[in-house]
A = this chain, B = another copy of it.
Amino acid sequence: MSSPLRLAIAGLGTVGIGVVKIIRQKAALLEARSGRKVQIVAVSARNRDKDRGVSLADYAWEDDPVVMATRDDVDVFVELMGGSDGPAKAATEAALKAGKDVVTANKALLAHHGQELAELAEEKGCVLRFEAAVAGGIPIIKSLTEGLAGNGIDRVMGVMNGTCNYILTRMEATGQGYNALFDEADKLGYLEADPNLDVGGIDAGHKLSLLSSIAFGTQVDFDSVELEGIQRVSIEDIRQAADMGYRIKLLGVARMTGRGLEQSMAPCLVPASSPLGQLEGGTNMVVVEGDQVGQVVLRGAGAGEGPTASAVMGDVMDIARGLRVTTFGQPASTLVKSTPAQAAAPAPYYLRMELMDKPGALAKIATALGEAGLSIHRMRQYDHADNSAPVLIVTHKTTRSALDDALARMATTGVISSEPVALRIEEV
């Protein structure tokens, strides 16, 4: 019989309490599976007196997570406080320096300090695991790091912010605009304290940068993720994209190209009939394309007490079983600094514009596109009551610079009544 695995949990919000409940209610199951007892020794949170609906009387209380992280009777420090710096970083560093394993759900911490923390962990012979930091309950970190370890990874894609996907799919379902659905998501408590983390794509960008590191053996480089939020996605674009057989998703895409590592988190069109296109509401999805396995799709809840606590427990159970993997799938010292791709890979684009009702207007647009080297795959002009007509164009694959050239040429035609919308179509 092995000795018990002793945990200290910092942060007793939804996820922390979910972890406490699992460890209390499933003690026998966890012991049967791991061969040892999994115990909580100490807990820490900002407010000791809050009623959290579960008894914490059996555990030592620590006001200072840094102190807790270094207790002699702790094997694993479970960091569920959040925040890229401050107490989360200080306590994680303290735990690793004291030789403790660390399990964290903190994507911001790792997106900004993943490399140094992974190096510290490995120097100390500790593991630093973060399944709960990416796509909630979906075991994507384990699948990518371990299950697909025999693959060169071609591309990783994901819808990894449930709030954004909720807003976008509700816009389509209700016909309401972004602002109304933002307010609805806010009322439902779906938004982070700083909503820009969600709707600005930052939270999802953090997650993408962690997947990139594992997939391509590169140092986490969040600063090079091209970020665009969903704030400018209009109900018109959602409708017109649907009409052309697409859905708009806040989609993360990472791939290694001849021009460097491409990482983008931005609204994209995907085919409505694809698994990504069919993803509704707050559910998350990650798509991994390996050179051996082809396309593997994982789908599940991206947030919430049970799903996120499930992911934390997956890491805890690994440690209990003696399964020890490097943070990003290979020794941190061997991860290379990537060169960010200066331009995204060529892709088809969706263009929407309002064309003035003048003779030859469409010809001027077609000419501008042609001069920029863009060819048109599909085009639709819609009925119009007033003096401007909505026009949709789906281009063949083109570079972003050719597209920008085309947009500049279109602006000089004098036949467009407002700034055109251009969205990348991701082929999935």
Binding site for B on A (CB under 8 A): 18, 22, 26, 29-30, 32-35, 131, 137-139, 142-143, 146-152, 217, 275, 278, 290-301, 304, 306-307, 309-314, 316-318, 321-325, 329-331, 334
Contact = CB atoms under 8 A, between A and B. Distances in A.
Nearest to A297: B299
Contacts of A138: 296
What 7 A-B pairs are tightest by C-beta distance, nearest first? Answer: A150-B313, A139-B147, A137-B293, A149-B317, A293-B310, A296-B300, A292-B310
Contacts of A294: 137, 300-301, 304, 306-307
A399 B260 CA distance: 59
Residue of A139, A291, A307, A311 ringed by the most chain B CB atoms within 10 A: A139
Main secondary structure of the interface of A (DSSP, over half): mixed
Contacts of A323: 146, 323-325
Oligomeric state, in number of copies?
A: 2
A36 to B, nearest CB: 12
19 contacts: A18-B292, A29-B152, A30-B149, A137-B292, A137-B293, A139-B146, A142-B142, A149-B314, A150-B309, A150-B312, A150-B317, A278-B278, A291-B306, A292-B307, A293-B301, A293-B307, A293-B311, A294-B306, A323-B324
B30 A314 contact: no
A290 B275 contact: no
A310 B22 contact: no
Contacts of A275: 275, 278, 299
